[in-house]
A and B are shown apart, each in its own frame.
Chain A
Amino acid sequence: MEKSPNQITEDLLRPLLRTSPKYYFAVALLAAVVVVAFAAFGYQAYSGLGVSGLRRPVFWGFYITNFVFWIGISHAGTLISAILRLANATWRRPVTRCAEVITVFALSIGAMFPVIHLGRPWLAFWLIPYPSERQIWPNFRSPLVWDFFAINTYLIGSVAFLTLPILPDWALVRDKASGWRKRVYGFLSLGWRGTPRQWSRLESAMHIMAIVIIPVAVSVHTIVSWDFAMAPVPMWHSTIFGPYFVAGAIFSGIAALILAMACLRKFLHLEDYLKPLHFDNLGKLLLMMSLLWFYFVFAERLTTWYGNEPSEMAVFWTTQQGAYAPLFWTMVFCNFLLPFPILAIKRLRTITGTVIASTAVVAGMWLERFLIIVPSLSHKFLPYNWGTYRPTWVEITIMVGTFAGMALLYALFAKAVPIISIWELKLGLHEKSEVRSQETEGRGKLAFGGQEKLET
């Protein structure tokens, strides 16, 4: 059953205009967890990093694991959405916005961890190249400084990429709403009138952003991987890390997107918009990334094994057979052995199936980040210094807090912005009926069809 444009507006604006008590309860609960996590961070900043489980030689633990994990999740969005837009995959329309939102929030959360993990977090601003009276600049040779620039570039880019296609929808809310909402959304929509001139500018802006954001996203996770690959640490110092991390990021990103979509579908009753088709298509993408992930792990492990370099083999065996082996094989199960059959068999690639696979993948990819960081640091060159690592409640609280924070931000966003792009759905309807597209020529152009060149 095709929905009429009015029904679409009605359905998708409902969450913005009506709020149930359950929603307030959920938001309060999530906010409470976030507050506790901030308190834990305050406690750590006050007492010193000693309250974490970090020790010599494992100087990076849960915080950097979470950093890499969240930055990885952030590749869900913008990258997938940009590729689907450029490929003009028409099924993308209900998916793009919920993907782009994940990027912005996961990136903001991930970017907090390098500050949380600092010994003196109040001095984090020294990474900014500001003109100081002492004429000291950050060290541009340090991958952490590259991180600073890469993440900020990606954050600015993905906020723009998210906000641009929201403008027409905010204008729609402005037109439908009354009272304070009208004023707020009027301000947010930046004077959107829907003139042909505005549409064509929006279209070219989005086209440019979709192209620009892809290399930015790739560079961000490559640089995150270089935080490790640039240091002469066994199993870190590897040329494979750049593409390996990018592939892993997209992998965990798609999984996060599927989970987010399943939640939206259930809680906002969007069954008619987020259809089994979307889960099926994203499931296929996830399957491809699962294979790619397995390929990378296999290539990395096999070359290390054959190379038989003593310091690397110490790390290798501790993950394959030693103390970290249970985590390693859980990771292989979660990232490949479980999702592969679910996603490969068409009958199992249902909404439930993809959600199970995605949950496993998110957990598995978190483990992967942990297994890259900790076993290498605990088994560096001089065996006398080998050590272990165990997180404390502070690290676990902060980690749980970021998951709650992600859910909280997502819930608040879904309340403030139509989580599915209304105008893009309507555009889809336009494309189907040629008669109407002739009537409203200015709007009838394909958003990213590429069939016609735009001239302003």
Chain B
Amino acid sequence: MQRHDAPLDSGLSTLAILLLVTCHSSMVQTMESKAQKKWAMVVDLDRCTGCEACVVACHAENNIPTVGEEQAAMGRAMHWMRVERYYQGDFPNVRVKFIPVFCQQCDAAPCEPVCPTYASYHTAEGLNGQVYNRCIGTRYCANACPYNVRFFNFYNPVWEKPLHLQLNPDVSVREVGVMEKCTFCVQRIKAAEITAKADKRELKDGDVQPACAQSCPPKALVFGDLNDPTSEVSRLAGSNRATRLLEELGTKPKVIYLQRESWGDGKES
């Protein structure tokens, strides 16, 4: 009798241990996450002029290939950061709305659970990571993403001379067949963290500047830590203009849009 029960017992105890380990690790995770950074971006739509300096800066910083006229016309252009244009009204009373859209770094990201190889995953700092080497190119993440911010390398990227000389050594170049997307300039986050650690100090608000925020002339883009109540993003996130894109889908995005209040002509919209 005893012998018959033995495998059952050991199976049960293994299960119990597994459960304990899972609970423990998830508890540790929640405890840790309090002290952790929660990187977020605020986009002030009142300030955005639609100049697309952010788009250019992003291309330069992140080694994003240009695909050429023909491929771009087909819909294969890759812009981790794009400025969407929406038109309101009929000619001549047309108003153009700009909205910069990039990876929303969702806390409940639809792209993550669908990836069969963990190429898209949630980092400890709450970013939506994309492991290029692990990506096999199912493109499922891009379909699941409601914001259409994921891009696929349909061909091996080519940089026409002399553009090949300006590749950023801190960012890997992606090969054919993998997905890519905005990383919140994770290389800059890491660099700032390392510098702060070397100087034996905490990261200050404003230490990390993604390329787009750095190059935005009207300062429509503000980057920072939402877990730090004194940061600029936390202050702006408390604005009554603050909203999130497609919030109703429950993706919990970490990009906060400050809605447009005026058209610059004194009239409320």
On A, residues with C-beta under 8 Å from B are 47-50, 54-57, 59-60, 114, 117-121, 123-124, 126-127, 136, 138-139, 141-145, 148, 227, 230-233, 377, 380-385, 387-388
Which residues of B lie under 8 Å from residue A119 when comparing CB positions? 135-139, 152-153, 176-179
Distance of A184 Cα from B249 Cα, bound (Å): 60
Cross-chain contact A127 with B117 (CB below 8 angstroms): yes
Instruction: Return the chain B residue nearest A46 by Cβ.
Output: B176
- Closest CB in chain A relative to B67 CB, distance in Å: 9
Cα distance A56–B110 when bound, in Å?
17
B103 within 8 A of A: no
Excluding A119-B178, A377-B143, A387-B75, 17 further A-B contacts by CB distance (< 8 Å) are: A50-B154, A50-B155, A60-B143, A117-B139, A119-B137, A119-B153, A119-B176, A136-B118, A138-B117, A144-B138, A145-B116, A231-B114, A232-B249, A380-B148, A382-B101, A382-B147, A384-B85
Partner of A118, one of B114, B118, B136: B136
Pair B114/A47 contact, Cβ less than 8 Å: no
Q: Are B136 and A139 in contact (CB under 8 A)?
A: no
* Contact between A139 and B178, CB atoms less than 8 A apart: no
Cβ of B113 to closest chain A Cβ, rounded Å: 4
A142: chain B residues at CB < 8 Å are: 113-116, 140
Decide: B152 and A233 in contact? CB cutoff 8 A: no
Q: How far is the CA of A209 from the CA of B50 in the complex (A)?
A: 64
CA of A114 to CA of B137 in the docked complex: distance in angstroms?
10
With A138-B116, A139-B116 in contact, is A55–B139 under 8 Å at CB? Answer: no
* A71 to B45 CA separation, bound complex (whole angstroms): 47
- Is B84 at the interface (CB under 8 A from chain A)? yes
Chain A nearest CB, measured from B48 CB (Å): 14
14 A-B pairs in the complex with CB atoms less than 8 angstroms apart: A50-B71, A60-B143, A119-B136, A119-B178, A120-B136, A127-B116, A127-B117, A138-B117, A142-B140, A144-B138, A148-B116, A230-B114, A380-B146, A384-B85
Min CB–CB distance A86 → chain B (angstroms): 34
B249 and chain A: residue at smallest CB distance: A232
Which of the residues A56, A120, A143 comes within 8 Å of B137, measured between beta carbons? A120
Q: Known interface pairs A49-B152, A60-B143. Does A139 touch B86 (Cβ–Cβ under 8 Å)?
A: no
Residue of A nearest to B75 (CB): A55
Given contacts A49-B177, A139-B116, A384-B86, is CB(A231)–CB(B140) below 8 Å?
Answer: yes
Mark B62-74 against chain A: 1 for CB-CB distance below 8 A, else 0.
Answer: 0000000001001
Q: Per-position contact with A for B100-123: 1 when CB-CB < 8 Å, else 0?
A: 010000000010011111100000
CB of B19 closer than 8 Å to a CB of A: no
Does B246 sit at the interface, judged by CB under 8 A?
A: yes
Q: Is A56 a contact of B146 with CB atoms below 8 Å?
A: no
B144 on the interface (CB 8 Å rule)? yes
**A146, chain B: closest CB distance, angstroms:** 9
**Chain A residues, CB < 8 A from B116:** 126-127, 138-139, 142, 144-145, 148
Q: Which A-B residue pairs are the 4 nearest by beta carbons?
A: A119-B137, A119-B177, A50-B154, A59-B139
Inter-chain contacts of A59 with B (CB < 8 A): 139, 142-143, 152
Assuming the contacts A231-B110, A381-B147, asked whether A54 and B85 have C-beta atoms less than 8 A apart, the reply is no
Q: How far is the CA of A143 from the CA of B141 in the complex (A)?
A: 12
Q: How far is the CB of B13 from chain A (nearest CB, A)?
A: 23
Q: Could you tell me the distance in whole angstroms from the C-beta of A112 to the nearest C-beta in chain B? A: 15
A124 cross-chain contacts in B, Cβ below 8 A:
136
B76 contacts chain A at the CB level, 8 A cutoff: yes
Closest chain A residue to B113, Cβ basis? A141
Could you say which residues of chain A place their CB within 8 Å of the CB of B115?
A: 139, 142
In the complex the two chains form, what is the Cα distance from A57 to B144 in whole Å?
Answer: 11
Q: Write the nearest CB–CB distance from B74 to chain A, whole angstroms.
A: 5
Identify which of B74, B113, B138, B177 gathers the most chain A CB atoms within 10 Å of its CB: B138
Interface string of B155-197 (1 = CB under 8 A from A): 1100000000000000000001111000000000000000000
Q: Which residue of B lies closest to A124 (CB)?
A: B136
Closest chain-A Cβ to B175's Cβ sits at a distance in Å of 8
B264 shortest CB reach to chain A, Å: 22
B77: which A residues are within 8 A, CB to CB? Answer: 56
Q: Nearest Cβ distance between residue A121 and chain B, in whole angstroms? A: 8
Q: Inside 8 A of B142's CB, which chain A residues have their CB?
A: 56-57, 59
Specify which chain B residues have a CB less than 8 angstroms from the CB of A381 in the assembled complex. 146-147, 246, 249
Are B176 and A385 neighbours in the complex by a CB distance under 8 Å? no
**CB <8 Å contact, A57 and B140:** no
B117 near A56: Cβ-Cβ < 8 Å: no
Question: Which residues of A have CB within 8 Å of B143?
Answer: 59-60, 231, 233, 377
Cα(A387)–Cα(B148), bound, Å:
11
Closest Cβ of chain B to A143, distance in Å, is 7
